[in-house]
């Protein structure tokens, strides 16, 4: 390890002097500007497969005593970090919502990192603040489609905000429901509002036992964190059974009324536009009506599915989202922006005043500091990456990407359905689907008893888990897995493969090779061997 001298002169050079020519850092830069995916494919030849082995490289808890040359440190990063990173750019990496990025993010993000603006207040961000407000306005417009006058009034108003930019969907959901909580338990009749008094006094004033949030069983786990952080408690997260993968408006209404009759107040119904596990979209328009009838807030968690709004062809799948009081959209999912870009949008530009905070040295009364209504304090200029994507790809570019992903998912679903050895467990509503291996012998069996179906499902679960792990370890492709209740199996939970088609470079050949690989991996699995003979056994 090349140690550098410990001197202020050396440290000043670290701040000011770019390294030149043949330094490792310069080489990394050159490689990266050519193509990240080439760069990754050169380096992702992971030899160490177990996490424990990798942990050996990160085992010391001491801050290194002496400075190191930047170039020599860069070598170490290549060796220890990059070589064992996950290649999310691979077209066969189709298991998660994280995927390849368009190349322009790399050079542009250098501007963002280099300028090091802090969006919490104007004094450290100037032009970035209006840019972020405009970006939020564009997303607001995508959802709520208000007239130009509306945006002229509110886009840059110090007393309003059309949304809150944050690090991701989790913080966006917390922010939206925090705003909702403070509005619902806001100041009235001499009561100073929950923000000031806390929940105990608020429950007393409103004469309620508890405050609750409702979503389908498929609600993202960030909602569990939300009820926890907001102080209303995880017992008050009403997760409604959803064998069809969506929140039924009838069940929502009945459960909401029952909850209220027990002396509780319902804070919000959360409709999901693109569930994490199966990609289903709740009936948002009907749920908005239910929320109105129950007198609660309506939030739409469109963290993943929100980008569908770019598509004229498919935007109607999210109909009713314009009735939401608030909505969450992650730009780092289907909008192909680097990690760390989430947004909460508010129908009413005054809503977020319920969480407005003032301080003496910043966020002064009447200032346009974004930090006054965001949960996070210091924040980077990530909105620039969303802004740039809007310009470089355009609404129509996004539309093409979304349409392509949805249509590819439909195609993949057809491939799976027509394959004798696979079962499509949930059809894609957007670009996410689930399926599993199922031997041909199990098709058109005579009626099986409940317990026979259960036994079969347990065996298939074991098979799915094993194949998913082995495929991941082989490193050519990646499909994730989850457990979901399925109507067709009496609402029993089964383990399934989960696929998110995000990378536009994923081809039909890639998809077909993934199925082939899974089938090949199954051939010597005891469950597969046993089930392939199932029919004969059954008949005998
Ligand atoms: C991803 C996701 C979240 C959480 O977003 P993060 O950006 O991971 O914090 C919440 N809800 C849904 C539906 C999601 O898909």
Residue 355, token pair as written in the block: 């969480």
Burial of 434 (0-12, 13-18, 19+ CB in 10 A): buried
Total structural domains within the chain:
3
506 lies in some domain: yes
Sign of the C-alpha dihedral, residues 120, 122, 126, 129? positive
Does the beta carbon of 276 lie inside 6 Å of ligand 1?
Answer: yes
Residue 64, token pair as written in the block: 């290194």
What global pTM score does this model have? 0.94
What's the 170 CA to ligand 1 centre distance in angstroms? Answer: 6
Does the beta carbon of 334 lie inside 6 Å of ligand 1?
Answer: no
pLDDT tens for the chain, residues 1 to 540: 678 888 888 888 877 766 555 677 777 777 776 666 666 765 444 556 688 999 999 999 999 999 998 888 888 888 898 888 888 888 999 999 888 899 899 889 999 999 999 999 988 998 999 999 999 999 999 999 999 999 999 999 999 999 999 999 999 999 999 999 999 999 999 999 999 999 999 999 999 999 999 999 999 999 999 999 999 999 999 999 998 999 999 999 999 999 999 999 999 999 999 999 999 999 999 999 999 999 999 999 999 999 999 999 999 999 999 999 999 999 999 999 999 999 999 999 999 999 988 766 656 677 888 888 999 999 999 999 999 999 999 999 999 999 999 999 999 999 999 999 999 999 999 999 999 999 988 877 667 888 888 999 999 999 999 999 999 988 889 999 999 999 888 889 999 999 999 999 999 999 999 999 999 999 999 999 998 876 655 544
252 lies in some domain: yes
Q: Give yes or no: residues 325 and 468 share one domain.
A: no
Q: Which of 31, 64, 85 is the last residue of a domain?
A: 85
- Report yes or no: 273 and 281 within 8 Å, Cβ to Cβ: yes
What's the 99 CA to ligand 1 centre distance in angstroms? Answer: 15
CA distance 415 to 321: 32
Host domain of residue 475: 403-531
Best probe residue, ligand 1, of 96, 97, 167, 168 (max atoms within 8 Å of C-beta): 168
Does the beta carbon of 522 lie inside 6 Å of ligand 1?
Answer: no
- Report yes or no: 398 and 310 within 8 Å, Cβ to Cβ: yes
Best probe residue, ligand 1, of 95, 308, 328 (max atoms within 8 Å of C-beta): 328
Q: Give yes or no: residues 181 and 292 share one domain.
A: yes
Q: Give yes or no: residues 361 and 437 share one domain.
A: no
Q: Which residues are CB-neighbours of 360 under 8 A, at least 6 positions away?
A: none
Q: Give yes or no: residues 422 and 507 share one domain.
A: yes
537 lies in some domain: no
Sheet arrangement for strand 297-301: 163-166, 342-346, 326-330, 297-301, 265-272, 211-216, 237-240
What's the 408 CA to ligand 1 centre distance in angstroms? Answer: 23
- Report yes or no: 360 and 332 within 8 Å, Cβ to Cβ: no
């Amino acid at each position: 390890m090349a140690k550098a001298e410990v001197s202020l002169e050396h440290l000043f050079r670290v701040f000011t002097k770019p390294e030149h020519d043949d330094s490792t850092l310069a080489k990394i830069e050159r490689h990266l500007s050519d193509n990240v995916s080439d760069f990754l494919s050169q380096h992702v030849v992971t030899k160490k497969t177990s996490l424990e082995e990798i942990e050996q490289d990160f085992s010391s808890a001491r801050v290194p005593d002496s400075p190191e040359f930047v170039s020599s440190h860069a070598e170490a990063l290549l060796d220890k970090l990059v070589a064992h990173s996950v290649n999310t750019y691979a077209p066969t990496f189709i298991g998660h919502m994280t995927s390849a990025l368009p190349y322009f993010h790399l050079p542009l993000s250098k501007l963002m990192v280099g300028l090091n603006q802090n969006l919490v207040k104007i004094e450290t961000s100037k032009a970035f603040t209006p840019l972020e407000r405009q970006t939020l306005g564009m997303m607001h417009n995508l959802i709520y489609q208000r007239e130009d006058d509306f945006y002229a009034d509110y886009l840059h108003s110090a007393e309003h905000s059309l949304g809150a930019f944050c690090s991701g969907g989790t913080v966006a959901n917390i922010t939206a429901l925090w705003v909702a909580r403070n509005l619902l338990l806001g100041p009235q009749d001499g009561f100073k509002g929950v923000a000031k008094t806390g929940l105990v006094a608020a429950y007393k004033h409103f004469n309620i036992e508890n405050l609750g949030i409702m979503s389908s069983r498929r609600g993202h786990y960030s909602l569990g964190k939300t009820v926890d952080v907001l102080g209303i408690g995880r017992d008050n997260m009403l997760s409604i059974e959803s064998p069809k993968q969506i929140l039924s408006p009838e069940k929502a209404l009945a459960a909401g009324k029952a909850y209220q009759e027990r002396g509780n107040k319902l804070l919000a119904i959360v409709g999901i536009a693109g569930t994490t596990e199966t990609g289903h979209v709740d009936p948002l328009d009907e749920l908005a009506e239910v929320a109105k009838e129950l007198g609660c807030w309506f939030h739409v968690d469109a963290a993943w599915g929100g980008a569908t709004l770019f598509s004229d062809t498919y935007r109607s799948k999210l109909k009713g989202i314009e009735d939401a009081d608030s909505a969450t959209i992650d730009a780092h999912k289907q909008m192909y922006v680097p990690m760390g870009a989430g947004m909460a949008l508010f129908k009413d530009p005054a809503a977020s005043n319920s969480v407005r905070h003032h301080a003496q040295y910043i966020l002064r009364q009447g200032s346009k500091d974004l930090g006054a209504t965001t949960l996070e304090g210091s924040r980077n200029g990530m909105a620039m990456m969303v802004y740039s994507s809007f310009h470089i790809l355009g609404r129509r570019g996004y539309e093409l990407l979304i349409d392509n992903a949805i249509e590819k998912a439909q195609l993949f679903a057809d491939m799976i359905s027509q394959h004798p050895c696979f079962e499509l467990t949930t059809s894609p509503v957007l670009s996410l689907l689930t399926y599993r291996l199922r031997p041909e012998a199990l098709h058109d069996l005579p009626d099986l008893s409940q317990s026979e179906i259960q036994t079969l499902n347990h065996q298939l679960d074991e098979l799915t888990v094993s194949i998913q792990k082995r495929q991941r370890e082989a490193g050519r492709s990646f499909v994730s897995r989850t457990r979901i209740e399925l109507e067709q199996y009496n609402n029993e939970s089964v383990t399934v493969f989960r696929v998110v088609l995000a990378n536009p470079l994923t081809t039909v050949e890639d998809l077909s090779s993934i199925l082939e690989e899974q089938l090949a991996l199954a051939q010597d699995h005891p469950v597969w061997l046993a089930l392939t003979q199932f029919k004969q056994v059954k008949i005998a």
